[in-house]
Structure 1
């Protein structure tokens, strides 16, 4: 008999929530998507910086549609897949756009700073509210990968498998540098107004610039050269603002596109959370933190990833008997975790078949 299937696109309330900083949010909700048979093992998917809860999607394909779905590498006919919009996000979860009950207005820059650990703790509370107390796997890349690592340390007996992708145990100075440029672009936009901007006139120029900076770091030089080269009208003597080359048009398009779907304050808060990512913080060091992980680990890095170099993830799990590590050969660099699923999706499919090794 075929199991009953579900698709949920809802919010779950976890009530008051105390952050690592000691500050308390009086009421927190997390927006989530839940797909798959009702009694099937649960897989938690954690999204990246500008991602959202729509991993699979219903009215339109989700952002990981090449990896997750009916008959795909993460098969939603065999597993339930749940994804939360992160705490501090702007797609329905409590964040800078939410109403501050103390003022009756949106938090904006009054929203407290959050950490990756706060994000994970809030997800754990939300899962318990949904009646979920064990996960078959936790999967995610980039900011999502940071959450995966923290899940394995904060709640080591909660899952059978961890699958961190395109991530490192702490964010490097190089990664912080890129985030700093993005932060500078947004906060120096005259429309930012210290974070208390008019919703009808947000700091779009700053946010678009921040996105353009990010897009450069997500891909490799080889990929840019292969895709764009020096194609374009090749004129540079008409205007300082014109896009003379295809690569410029691409960056302008990507920057402007983000401003229509993402909040600048959320972008800033999540950049700070990424900057603070260090699994060794308060735990002695990275090696000591890694030893707290009890689940099977499939760690995947991507060749040419500038922000999250494969060597750092490899070194974290070298001595762990329950860990496997792979480097995917790709020209996409960091963005490899969002494309070319045929290269690494089979690894995840095989990992999910395994039971917990003690």
Structure 2
């Protein structure tokens, strides 16, 4: 049994949305009863929060024709796509994802944003979720919103990784795919190491108290410092932090701000969720045109590994693009700077439209 609870987005809660050039987002919740996770744990009520922009349209056969799914990264939420350098670029009238023409779905993944997560009360008793659970929940959410087909699936970082999974698990459900800031292979090497540093810091912290802490354990500080380290490129860091004193000031300010909202159990679960991610065995199953976008200054997905360049050859209609370091790239976070990769999205939509006509 599933219950849908819609509500209008409170603009004052998202300052970036005070003035927009696209239709107002609508916020709501879908509640899935007795959701069974791959771990075989069951949550009596799984709340899936979402934002939608625009109106759903169908063809004469009742097939959704203008729905777009955009998935966020680790620790984020669908609200991150309302920032001007993404939404005002893409969703505006005349934009590549003009919200008067498309129905845009921005979900909060399990364990993130306003969807069900450990800090809601279950703490370390929350079911162990993985990316497969998150993708299945997104599919259930779309069904309840009446979306039976997607014009486009795209995502950033974790959402990019889940885009690969969408293409494999539901190959006929979409017309096009654009994973950003991701690799189509297991979490390994340095990418696994920095995650383990955070996971181990929290789990081995006596203040964590097996998840039953009364105040945030100090290991959360280590977690936020590591996330800060991995998120940008060295050129920007050096420019913004040219001295030892300034470096400490910027880092301390970032951590202090993160402590206002971050929760150690949520972070622990979010990073642990990537353990079941590995699309590499089934890349040939992806049928829709796919364009993968990475940036050369991404510390999490460095081009030197050549994983993307090697594996994209196995995707029947796949293409890989690595954007060079430039004045507009910001490391891993380039995935949300739409002007950097917007033209590739335009070309993907044109290509997939031609493919659908054939």
Normalising by structure 1, what TM-score?
0.83
In 2 relative to 1, CA 23–136 (structure 1 residues): closer, same or farther, beyond 3 Å? same
Partner Cα distance (1:246, 1:6) in 2: 39
In 2 relative to 1, CA 62–151 (structure 1 residues): closer, same or farther, beyond 3 Å? farther
Task: Choose which of 144, 150, 173 in structure 2 pairs with 1:135.
Answer: 150
Displacement over 4 Å in runs of 4+: none
CA contact (8 A) 1:5 1:38 kept: no
Partner Cα distance (1:175, 1:136) in 2: 31
Equivalent in the alignment of 1:44: 69
Larger helix percent: 2
In 2 relative to 1, CA 130–222 (structure 1 residues): closer, same or farther, beyond 3 Å? same
Partner Cα distance (2:200, 2:321) in 1: 35
Partner Cα distance (2:24, 2:299) in 1: 39
Shift of 1:188: 4.2
Q: 1:40-70: per-residue Cα shift (whole Å, max 9, x none)?
A: 611101100121121444xxx4784355421
Equivalent in the alignment of 1:79: 102
Partner Cα distance (1:192, 1:9) in 2: 33
SS of the residue 1:37 aligns to: coil
Which structure 2 segments of 5+ residues have no match?
Answer: 1-21, 58-64
Alignment root-mean-square deviation, CA: 2.2
Partner Cα distance (2:330, 2:85) in 1: 16
CA contact (8 A) 1:33 1:84 kept: yes
Q: Spell out the pairing of 1:9-48 with structure 2 (5 A cutoff).
A: 9-39=27-57, 41-48=66-73
CA contact (8 A) 1:161 1:356 kept: no
In 2 relative to 1, CA 95–216 (structure 1 residues): closer, same or farther, beyond 3 Å? same
Q: 1:176-201: per-residue Cα shift (whole Å, max 9, x none)?
A: 11011112333344432211122xx2
Normalising by structure 2, what TM-score?
0.83
Shift of 1:37: 2.9
Equivalent in the alignment of 1:335: 333
CA contact (8 A) 2:56 2:67 kept: no
CA contact (8 A) 2:75 2:270 kept: no
Shift of 1:253: 1.7
Equivalent in the alignment of 1:300: 293
Q: 1:284-304: per-residue Cα shift (whole Å, max 9, x none)?
A: xx2x41011111101111102
Which structure 1 segments of 5+ residues have no match?
Answer: 99-105, 231-243, 280-285
CA contact (8 A) 2:67 2:103 kept: yes
Partner Cα distance (2:333, 2:106) in 1: 20
Question: Does the alignment pair 1:202 with 2:216?
Answer: yes
Equivalent in the alignment of 1:53: 78
Shift of 1:324: 1.7
In 2 relative to 1, CA 55–218 (structure 1 residues): closer, same or farther, beyond 3 Å? closer
Shift of 1:325: 1.3
Equivalent in the alignment of 1:7: 25
Partner Cα distance (1:66, 1:208) in 2: 33
Partner Cα distance (1:261, 1:349) in 2: 36
In 2 relative to 1, CA 320–56 (structure 1 residues): closer, same or farther, beyond 3 Å? closer
Shift of 1:258: 1.8
Task: Choose which of 108, 111, 114 in structure 2 pairs with 1:92.
Answer: 114
Partner Cα distance (1:247, 1:156) in 2: 46
Once structures 1 and 2 are overlaid, which stretch shifts more, 117-126 or 314-323?
314-323
Partner Cα distance (2:81, 2:234) in 1: 30
Equivalent in the alignment of 1:222: 235
| Count of matched residue pairs | 320
Q: Spell out the pairing of 1:207-356 with structure 2 (5 A cutoff).
A: 207-230=220-243, 244-279=244-279, 286=280, 288-310=281-303, 311-330=306-325, 332-339=330-337, 341-353=338-350, 354-355=352-353
